[in-house]
Structure 1
Amino acid sequence: MSKLKLSLRLMFAYFAAFLAFSFLEQPHLYGEDESLHKGRSDGIVIDLPTSPGGEQMPGVTFYHDLHTKQLNDKEKDCSVCHMKEPNEDRFVFKYKRLKDSETETDMAVYHDNCIACHEDVKSKSKKSGPLEAQCRECHNTKDGDISSWQPIVFDKSLHNRHETAKAIVSPMGKDEPNCSACHHGYDEKLDKLFYDRGQEGSCRYCHKDSGSAPFETPSKIISSSNSAQKSITLQKASSMRDASHNSCVNCHIVEMKKFAGPVNCSGCHDLEEQKKIDKLQVVPRLKREQPDVAMITGWEPAASMESNQSQEEIEKIVENINQYMKPVVFDHKNHENNTKDCRTCHHDTLKNCKECHTLKGSDKGGFVNLESAMHDIKSDRSCMGCHEMYKAASDCAGCHAQMPEKSFAQTDSSCAVCHVVDAVESGLQKMDKTAMNAAAEALLKAKTDEYQKVANDKIPEKVTIGYIADKYEPSEFPHGKIVKAIEKRIEKSKIANAFHKDGTTLCAGCHHNSLPTEKPQKCISCHGKGDMLKNDGRPGLMGAYHGQCITCHQKMNVETVAATDCNKCHKEKK
């Protein structure tokens, strides 16, 4: 054996021994392999605020489920690490304390108790977590593990399961709805929580994702003596994370006295575990005293005008009622069925939209006025913004993806789809809110969204395109077949039927700058011969044909004819 080979083998053996020794010295938590940390959903970063004038150590990634598993195996529970509220059988999910204190004090709580527990495990000849003087085993700058944590969505199905659960009893008594077990407002004068029936809202209206102080967040706290949403003031409320853990986990492990839902991190925040949660196929409607149909107007209903405007202003509105945009009949119930939850539209409160987004705009609505709140196509919370997102669906994108984007001012032809109510003729100027909603419901029942197809004899069955007939056989475009296929795709869509009142609207999908008509202009009317783009961005005729057809096939997921199958349209000339 050569000296070089011998030297290399000795070096390799030394390096292998060094690695083995290094790994043996690494403290693994209760004997768990480090590979188990990869892709976990239970990683919690403990990172206390920096002390004034002190040095900051890196935060600690704490694997919660890894620790609770060891406790469960020893038939121990949350009380090992968490204290309970005084005089209440509820855990406070802070480590060994009821509230946060100064950094040095909280740091000592972690160090003294965590290390003591590790030493106790070590004394029993078991592998433990880091011990004293092994600071960098916890406080390190190594790349963190890839987290598999996913937010849990408390959707309509999950809400209904809690709403109808017999095990959840209202604190106000068995005969009361169990909504009060979770929902509450805050009475600032009495400094206490209370339940206000009919004013339930999303937890996130008050409990935000993050805050300016550890485990707390500046949030909207309700100040009221009668209504839970009468006035709003900024205060410090618990973060959404703390609020949900304090309520949900405590309910699951304490109040139920038995397993009622997940109590570990992965149970809610692991994607595979989320898939195991049963979902209702049909979810009953949420009970919140909301209207089935509402009338949206640009002015205040007569019965509420006195509290907001002078008599002179009221008389002026009534006199000039037709100078406002025509009111909109809003099918609230149908929109509920087609949204994830109430926050899809009611993003900050369940109040009527125009209480914050007034006609002129106000500070309560961030000076976003009613018109912008309803028509901003770049906002997923506005009516038009939401409708824009529907255009990206495969059944719609074939046409809409290629339509030239128009400004709001250029889309006035669609205004009449929603703004249809004649205020004077309907007598709305004398109605209060309840009467208006009743009128809206009657108008909705009388309305028809039935799609009016173009008569078959008006639709060309085939269109021959001979633009490059000098090189290939003319293309036979199956015009009638395609029109019927698109009609089939959208016939069950309420939103499509509302905006596409007749088949001529579909014609504008390809003839995109033509007015809806049974005889739209030919492509060559706007796209001339030649492949060069016009100064205004229009492609030549060949580019227009290929761009329109290929993009449509791609966007609508047409598989029967591949978008790149040239021979399907262009057969070689014989």
Structure 2
Amino acid sequence: MANGKRMLRMTVIAIALVGVLGFQLEAMGMLDSVGDTAGRPDVIMIDTIAQLEELEQSAAVFMHDAHTKALKDQGMSCESCHKTDAKGTMALTFNRVEGENQPELSASELKDIYHNGCISCHVKTADKGFKTGPMVGECRSCHQAAPEVQADRFEAGMDNALHFTHWDSKIIPADAGEQTNCGSCHKKKGEEDGWRFAAANAGKSTQEIFHNQCVTCHQTLIEKKAERSGPVQCAGCHGEKEVAARKMEEGKSLKTMGALPRLPRKQPDAVLMMAKVEEGAAPEKATGMAPVAFNHKFHEGVVDTCTACHVDGVNAPLDTSYEAMHDLTSESSCIGCHAKAQEKPQCAGCHEQRPAAKATSDASCVTCHNAGVNAADTVKLMASASKEEKAAEAALLIAARPATQAMVAVEDIPEFVNIGAISKKFEPSKMPHRKIILSMVKGMEDSPLAATFHAAPEAVCAGCHHNSPASITPPKCASCHADPFVTDGKPGLKAAYHGQCMTCHTEMKLDKPAATNCVACHEKKAN
């Protein structure tokens, strides 16, 4: 009898467990195919109450895209959960609008908004015969101490291609009296990106500003049954696969167009830039160097977004302090961006092995700082010339820059170099010297950066002959690496040869010759 009761009790428990698990699996069934259930772009941890008091339960795990789809299946939309303010902008907050002229809510009131709103919706959904979410008493279904589903969001951004898609759209109407539709997003003419940074948005994060404006517009277009609309689901902007698919389509369009049109902002083609100076100081006192002719049009074409350089917005004064322009650790600085370009395979073979940066010299600085003949001309140019005159001067200097890499005459480059100073087990290596040099030059033939900064024809020689003066007849490696082992920080000759060649091949992503394939470079001696 006791065993019978125990079996009955275990059966009841098992049925209950199956029911609970079945319900939770049904709720998890709303995951659909948004992405990997272990990491999703739409996972939001709801811990709003934690700002007011210590949480009694763990933060609630909320899968936004799953709920968006569930609402759509029932003929419902974003307004089911999100209210709009007086201007018609959708609030990110659930079932409430926060901000000016809105009462502050207590922790208890916030808790009621979430619990009543979510659970009542789940009940109504179940009554309609749809899959639904947790009910009263099933706290752990939402409040998970160790969530199985984690947030995994790809960083979204308005790059140039996506920007073009918007201002080229016929669905977004043109501004009154204008040929562009910029006013649909950028409300104040002349301050087109001010809405991201304006004081009126104080207290709001950039995330809130973008979501409020973008999602509201996309949802409006969907309701109007427009031919095209932007995403309202998280994965549309933050899903890695979705973003990759968008960029692939943009790439196809770009290939058809040939080049992405410039944004219609009346931006200059060329400008003269100079480091900021203290108030009242003469311009040449900034760094002792002349201004820089900056090719603005070219740089627009090689960055994904204007904020690559204008980190505080294109309307904010660009920080032209010496530190901002020469910060090697920042890709927003000139030096930092150029250093990043040196990591490309066709550049890294040489630049990875260059000695640590030494103090800059006037000879290296003048490559960029060459506007104006002398200090007096510089003062006049920067203090009294008009914007148009400065732009014209910059354009002339840019046009005078070399278009191709300076090159030593081919016949002056040794076709082969025999390396046999330490050959014992192997024959001397017959290095195809000229072929290597010409291959390196070909790799940089479309690089204005290389054409400008490799001003001397012998500059390419310094990639290997890294510590000797630029020359077409550099000293042999043994003149510095004669010792067999590391001496004064210099490797021995064998290590110098192998380190130089193998590192270059690795950085340039060359599969052949393999570092372990000795006979690819020098044949083994018969004896």
Q: TM-score, normalised by structure 2?
A: 0.85
> In 1, are the aligned partners of 2:30 and 2:67 still within 8 Å (CA)?
no
Report Cα offsets for 1:406-426 as digits up to 9, x if no partner.
Answer: 23x145542121112224458
**Counterpart check, 1:416 vs 2:366:** yes
> In 2, are the aligned partners of 1:48 and 1:107 still within 8 Å (CA)?
no
* Partner SS state of residue 94, structure 1: coil
Report Cα offsets for 1:288-343 as digits up to 9, x if no partner.
Answer: 2221111123478xxxxxxx956xx6xxx38x789831221111111111112111
The alpha carbon displacement at 1:240 in A equals 2.2
**Counterpart check, 1:284 vs 2:261:** yes
The alpha carbon displacement at 1:124 in A equals 5.7
**Counterpart check, 1:500 vs 2:454:** yes
* Partner SS state of residue 180, structure 1: helix
- Give the AA of the match of 1:102: S
Residue matched to 2:504: 552
Please give the alpha-carbon distance, in whole angstroms, between the structure 1 residues aligned to 2:510 and 2:450: 20
Please give the alpha-carbon distance, in whole angstroms, between the structure 1 residues aligned to 2:195 and 2:457: 45
Specify whether residues 62 and 373 from structure 1 end up closer, same or farther in structure 2 by C-alpha distance, changes over 3 A only: same
**Counterpart check, 1:539 vs 2:483:** no
Residue matched to 2:67: 67
Residue matched to 2:329: 378
Residue matched to 2:6: none
The alpha carbon displacement at 1:31 in A equals 5.0
Specify whether residues 418 and 533 from structure 1 end up closer, same or farther in structure 2 by C-alpha distance, changes over 3 A only: same
Residue matched to 1:263: 232
- Give the AA of the match of 1:91: M
The alpha carbon displacement at 1:169 in A equals 2.3
Please give the alpha-carbon distance, in whole angstroms, between the structure 2 residues aligned to 1:173 and 1:56: 54
Please give the alpha-carbon distance, in whole angstroms, between the structure 2 residues aligned to 1:50 and 1:486: 59
Please give the alpha-carbon distance, in whole angstroms, between the structure 1 residues aligned to 2:107 and 2:81: 19
Which of residues 447, 451, 455 in structure 1 aligns to 2:401? 447
Please give the alpha-carbon distance, in whole angstroms, between the structure 2 residues aligned to 1:160 and 1:309: 40
> In 2, are the aligned partners of 1:28 and 1:34 still within 8 Å (CA)?
no
* Partner SS state of residue 49, structure 2: coil
The alpha carbon displacement at 1:467 in A equals 2.4
Residue matched to 1:196: 189
Specify whether residues 179 and 469 from structure 1 end up closer, same or farther in structure 2 by C-alpha distance, changes over 3 A only: same
Please give the alpha-carbon distance, in whole angstroms, between the structure 2 residues aligned to 1:180 and 1:124: 43
The alpha carbon displacement at 1:390 in A equals 0.9
> In 2, are the aligned partners of 1:449 and 1:501 still within 8 Å (CA)?
no
The alpha carbon displacement at 1:102 in A equals 2.3
Specify whether residues 202 and 460 from structure 1 end up closer, same or farther in structure 2 by C-alpha distance, changes over 3 A only: farther
* Partner SS state of residue 310, structure 2: coil
> In 2, are the aligned partners of 1:294 and 1:332 still within 8 Å (CA)?
yes
Residue matched to 2:164: 160
The alpha carbon displacement at 1:237 in A equals 4.0
> In 1, are the aligned partners of 2:218 and 2:230 still within 8 Å (CA)?
yes
Report Cα offsets for 1:341-376 as digits up to 9, x if no partner.
Answer: 11111111325766x44xxxxxxxxxxxx2211112
Matches within 5 A, 1:207-226: 221=199
> In 1, are the aligned partners of 2:215 and 2:231 still within 8 Å (CA)?
yes
The alpha carbon displacement at 1:159 in A equals 0.5
> In 1, are the aligned partners of 2:276 and 2:286 still within 8 Å (CA)?
no
**Counterpart check, 1:248 vs 2:214:** yes
Report Cα offsets for 1:81-101 as digits up to 9, x if no partner.
Answer: 222334x55433322112262
- Mean Cα deviation higher: 466-475 or 518-527: 466-475
Specify whether residues 267 and 48 from structure 1 end up closer, same or farther in structure 2 by C-alpha distance, changes over 3 A only: same
Specify whether residues 146 and 93 from structure 1 end up closer, same or farther in structure 2 by C-alpha distance, changes over 3 A only: closer
Please give the alpha-carbon distance, in whole angstroms, between the structure 2 residues aligned to 1:564 and 1:442: 51
Specify whether residues 339 and 54 from structure 1 end up closer, same or farther in structure 2 by C-alpha distance, changes over 3 A only: closer
The alpha carbon displacement at 1:442 in A equals 2.2
Please give the alpha-carbon distance, in whole angstroms, between the structure 1 residues aligned to 2:448 and 2:153: 37
- Give the AA of the match of 2:124: D
- Give the AA of the match of 2:111: M
> In 2, are the aligned partners of 1:51 and 1:104 still within 8 Å (CA)?
no
Please give the alpha-carbon distance, in whole angstroms, between the structure 2 residues aligned to 1:410 and 1:437: 27
Equivalent pairs, count: 494
* Partner SS state of residue 62, structure 1: strand
Residue matched to 2:348: 397
Please give the alpha-carbon distance, in whole angstroms, between the structure 1 residues aligned to 2:355 and 2:245: 44
Matches within 5 A, 1:116-515: 116-123=120-127, 128-169=132-173, 173=176, 175=178, 177-184=180-187, 195-197=188-190, 199-201=191-193, 204=196, 206=197, 221=199, 236-254=202-220, 257-259=224-226, 260-277=229-246, 278-279=249-250, 280-281=253-254, 282-298=259-275, 317=282, 324-350=288-314, 356-357=319-320, 370-407=321-358, 409-410=359-360, 412-421=362-371, 422-423=373-374, 424=376, 428=381, 430-515=384-469
- Mean Cα deviation higher: 270-279 or 371-380: 270-279
The alpha carbon displacement at 1:69 in A equals 1.7
Specify whether residues 375 and 175 from structure 1 end up closer, same or farther in structure 2 by C-alpha distance, changes over 3 A only: closer
Please give the alpha-carbon distance, in whole angstroms, between the structure 2 residues aligned to 1:130 and 1:322: 65
Please give the alpha-carbon distance, in whole angstroms, between the structure 2 residues aligned to 1:52 and 1:456: 74
Residue matched to 2:44: 44
Please give the alpha-carbon distance, in whole angstroms, between the structure 1 residues aligned to 2:128 and 2:112: 24
> In 2, are the aligned partners of 1:451 and 1:497 still within 8 Å (CA)?
yes
- Mean Cα deviation higher: 549-558 or 144-153: 144-153
Please give the alpha-carbon distance, in whole angstroms, between the structure 2 residues aligned to 1:392 and 1:268: 29
> In 1, are the aligned partners of 2:328 and 2:339 still within 8 Å (CA)?
yes
Residue matched to 1:98: 97
Any unmatched runs of 5+ in structure 2? 1-8, 99-103
Please give the alpha-carbon distance, in whole angstroms, between the structure 2 residues aligned to 1:405 and 1:20: 70
Residue matched to 1:519: 473
The alpha carbon displacement at 1:270 in A equals 1.8
Report Cα offsets for 1:258-309 as digits up to 9, x if no partner.
Answer: 2512122222222222233231412101122221111123478xxxxxxx95
The alpha carbon displacement at 1:19 in A equals 6.8
* Partner SS state of residue 428, structure 1: helix
Residue matched to 1:28: 24
Q: TM-score, normalised by structure 1?
A: 0.79
- Give the AA of the match of 1:420: N
- Mean Cα deviation higher: 549-558 or 250-259: 250-259
Residue matched to 2:81: 81
Report Cα offsets for 1:217-266 as digits up to 9, x if no partner.
Answer: xxx527xxxxxxxxxxxx72422222222211211222561251212222
Please give the alpha-carbon distance, in whole angstroms, between the structure 1 residues aligned to 2:442 and 2:232: 48
- Give the AA of the match of 1:45: M
The alpha carbon displacement at 1:121 in A equals 3.7
Please give the alpha-carbon distance, in whole angstroms, between the structure 1 residues aligned to 2:317 and 2:463: 33
> In 2, are the aligned partners of 1:298 and 1:324 still within 8 Å (CA)?
no
Between the aligned residues of both structures, percent identity stands at: 34
Report Cα offsets for 1:55-86 as digits up to 9, x if no partner.
Answer: 44211111122222222122122222222334
Specify whether residues 53 and 462 from structure 1 end up closer, same or farther in structure 2 by C-alpha distance, changes over 3 A only: closer
The alpha carbon displacement at 1:118 in A equals 2.1
Any unmatched runs of 5+ in structure 1? 1-13, 185-194, 207-219, 223-234, 301-307, 358-369
Specify whether residues 295 and 112 from structure 1 end up closer, same or farther in structure 2 by C-alpha distance, changes over 3 A only: same
Please give the alpha-carbon distance, in whole angstroms, between the structure 1 residues aligned to 2:492 and 2:122: 75
* Partner SS state of residue 333, structure 1: helix
Please give the alpha-carbon distance, in whole angstroms, between the structure 1 residues aligned to 2:234 and 2:218: 13
> In 2, are the aligned partners of 1:472 and 1:573 still within 8 Å (CA)?
yes
